[in-house]
Amino acid sequence: MDKVEKMKQEKQYEQYVKQKTPVHNVYVDMAKAFITGGIICTIGQFIYNYCELQNLSKDECSGWTSMLLVLLSVILTGINLYPKIAKWGGAGALVPITGFANSVASPAIEYKKEGQVFGIGCKIFTIAGPVILYGIFTSWILGFVYWIYKLL
């Protein structure tokens, strides 16, 4: 293969990549994430305010809000609606607690056909597992550093 032919192939490949690569507008993506996250937080605030109207303590209101947002996320994941919301809203749907619930429920739903143990049991934390692992590890390290600092 000579040099001219190789350059022609490289140019064709660059053109192919440019054609297949999606174009993103960062400002539109940020607006979508803001709207999506805002809607999720507004739903959470409605739940919290309703719990306050029922004369629950702040801790109970927080617990019910978290549980109901997780439940809503899992239900929406089960009917294949949350992935569409996440695709449109990006980080606005993936960062709150609802995104974490979705990351646990999605593999469970996907692998249920392989059975309770080898399907759901083995695959449920494929996405959320690293988050849990590194979250616990990081908090342990920070706690250890804090403990050492207090000893000095």
Question: How many other CB atoms sit within 10 Å of the CB of residue 83?
Answer: 13
CB proximity list for 36: less than 8 A, separation 6 or greater: 85, 88, 89, 90, 92, 93
83-138 pLDDT, tens digit each: 899 999 988 988 778 887 887 777 777 666 666 666 666 666 676 677 777 778 89
Residue 10 lies in a domain: no
Q: What's the CA gap between 46 and 40, in Å, rounded? A: 10
The per-residue pLDDT of the chain, averaged, comes to: 85
Q: How far is CA 109 from CA 30, 32, 53, 69, 105, in A?
A: 29, 27, 36, 18, 6
Q: What pLDDT does residue 31 have?
A: 95
Residue 108 lies in a domain: yes
Residue 99 lies in a domain: yes
Q: How many residues does the chain have?
A: 152
Q: What pLDDT does residue 42 have?
A: 96
Q: What's the CA gap between 60 and 62, in Å, rounded? A: 5
Residue 145 lies in a domain: yes
Q: What pLDDT does residue 69 have?
A: 94
Q: How far is CA 96 from CA 61, 70, 91, 101, 128, in A?
A: 17, 10, 8, 9, 13
Q: What pLDDT does residue 39 have?
A: 95
Question: How many other CB atoms sit within 10 Å of the CB of residue 5?
Answer: 9
Residue 134 lies in a domain: yes
Residue 144 lies in a domain: yes
Task: State the chain's maximal CA–CA distance in angstroms.
Answer: 80
Q: 100 is in which domain, residue-wise?
A: 23-151
The number of distinct structural domains making up the chain is: 1
Q: How far is CA 123 from CA 10, 36, 75, 142, in A?
A: 40, 28, 19, 29
